[in-house]
């Protein structure tokens, strides 16, 4: 192939790829990019399967504060964050807070084995089509989204959170009861 034609084809492919990818990382100027950009909007509700095969939905948690964590077993920061999510769940579930782990794209048996290996007792859902990852514009895993008692997204976070960061994020919601 002619070297000039090869350079032209590569340059064209790069421009087309940039035009496709850039919109996913840009904000419209009024909202931040990623999961934080959905703050103030109604949380989408999908019917999912739990890791045990039962039906589950965010609608069942209306009236509670939901800490929704998107994760995968192959993700080292997700593995590191899970024990803190479990601690948060144990400490705050009596105060109207629920933690939901939403596995992104893995088999239910794999999600269940992973959660069991870490002693996780909070609900685990399997998002085999990764709908929540797309709608929350997750730039990576883990991604955490806080949903208020009214079903409205309060905050979104890309990346792992510490237990102290989780507590600080939910504190205003717990106090507002």
Q: What whole-number distance in Å separates Cα of residue 101 and Cα of residue 88? A: 12
Tell whether 141 is covered by a domain: yes
Tell whether 23 is covered by a domain: no
Write out the H or E segment, with its range, that includes residue 126. Answer: strand 124-127
Report residue 16's pLDDT band, with 50, 70 and 90 as the boundaries: low
CA-nearest of 166, 18, 28 to 99 is: 166
For residues 59 and 150, is the Cβ–Cβ distance under 8 A? no
Q: Tell me the residue length of the chain.
A: 177
Residues 6+ positions from 24 with CB-CB distance below 8 Å: 137
pLDDT reported for residue 21 = 45
Q: How many helices, marked H, and strands, marked E, lie in the chain?
A: 5, 7
Tell whether 18 is covered by a domain: no
For residues 138 and 70, is the Cβ–Cβ distance under 8 A? yes
Average pLDDT rounded to a whole number, residues 12-20: 55
Residues 6+ positions from 164 with CB-CB distance below 8 Å: none
pLDDT reported for residue 78 = 97
Average pLDDT rounded to a whole number, residues 44-57: 95
Tell whether 15 is covered by a domain: no
Q: Please give the mean pLDDT across all residues of the chain.
A: 89
CA-nearest of 112, 97, 115, 111 to 61 is: 97
State the total domains in the chain. Answer: 1
Tell whether 168 is covered by a domain: yes
Tell whether 108 is covered by a domain: yes
pLDDT reported for residue 158 = 94
pLDDT tens-digit profile of 131-175? 999 998 888 999 999 999 999 999 999 999 999 999 999 999 999
- Sign of the torsion formed by the C-alpha atoms of 10, 12, 14 and 16: negative
Higher pLDDT, 30 or 154: 154
CA-nearest of 111, 66, 82, 39 to 58 is: 66
For residues 125 and 6, is the Cβ–Cβ distance under 8 A? no
CATH code, 78: 3.40.30.10
């Amino acid at each position: 192939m002619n070297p000039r034609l090869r350079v032209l084809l590569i340059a064209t492919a790069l421009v087309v790829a940039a035009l496709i990818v850039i919109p996913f990382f840009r904000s419209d100027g009024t909202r931040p990019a990623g999961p934080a950009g959905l703050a103030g909007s109604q949380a989408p509700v999908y019917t999912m399967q739990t890791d045990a095969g039962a039906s589950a939905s965010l609608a069942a948690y209306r009236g509670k504060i939901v800490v929704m964590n998107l994760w995968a077993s192959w993700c080292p920061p997700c593995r590191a964050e899970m024990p803190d999510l479990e601690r948060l769940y144990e400490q705050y579930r009596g105060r109207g807070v629920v933690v939901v782990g939403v596995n992104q794209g893995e088999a239910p048996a794999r999600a269940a084995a992973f959660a069991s290996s870490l002693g996780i007792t909070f609900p685990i859902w399997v998002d085999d089509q990764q709908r929540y990852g797309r709608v929350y514009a997750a730039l990576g895993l883990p991604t955490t989204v806080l949903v208020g008692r009214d079903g409205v997204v309060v905050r979104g976070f890309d990346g792992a959170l510490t237990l102290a960061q989780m507590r600080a994020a939910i504190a205003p919601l717990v106090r507002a009861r």
